[in-house]
Amino acid sequence: MRRYFAKMRGLGYLMWHARHDFYHILLGLVWAWFLRERWGEFNARWIWLAVLGSLLPDADHLLYFFTYGRHDEYSRQIKEFFKNREWRIAWTLIEKGHKYQTNLASHNIYFMLILLVTGLTSSFFEWRSGVVLSGAMVLHYMFDIFDDVLTLGYINPNWKRWGRAKKEVDQLVSSDPVPTKL
């Protein structure tokens, strides 16, 4: 019984610290509901596509950790915590430090514009799945920008450039105040 309670407490901890992703899922579901009302029909696949689209932009964080940003100190810390099975510390570090991860390739206004054009084109050709998916992704990015302003007081510099930062910015990013142990 005690072991079961400890597992539940750990799950509750992870769920509390993953609430940012739950906000994204909620936005995706609201998008699916809005489109259901707009189009006057229900399709369960659209719900799944909206949830997928609302979580898909965060895959760029994982790509950063394991591919193009693997040499970054923040990525090394995250991978080390995962390797040592220190889930709580890794989860909390991701929660606290993801706002300071400004070298992501797809978190910028230009990628949002590409998604908007994709959504409008999908709407023009009546490809509803494309509208659902691209719209949920745009809402994800818009929420992230809004959250940047609320959390940091400014918009992260990654939103104003195309692709990854130059070498000079990499050095500035590594000096950002990201907690190492919690």
- Helix, strand, coil in percent for the chain, rounding step 5: 75, 0, 25
In terms of Cα–Cα distance, which of 97, 56, 55 is closest to 181? 97
Specify the pLDDT at position 121: 95
pTM over 0.85: no
In angstroms, what CA-CA distances link 41 with 27, 52, 53, 120, 149? 19, 20, 20, 20, 36
Tens digits of residue pLDDT in 29-70: 999 999 999 999 888 999 999 999 999 998 888 888 888 888
| CB of 165 closer than 8 Å to CB of 64 | no
User: Which residues span the domain enclosing 162?
Assistant: 2-174
44 in a structural domain: yes
Taking residue 60's Cβ as centre, other Cβ atoms within 10 Å add up to 17
The tally of domains found in the chain comes to 1
CA dist 122 and 167 (Å) reads 37
117 in a structural domain: yes
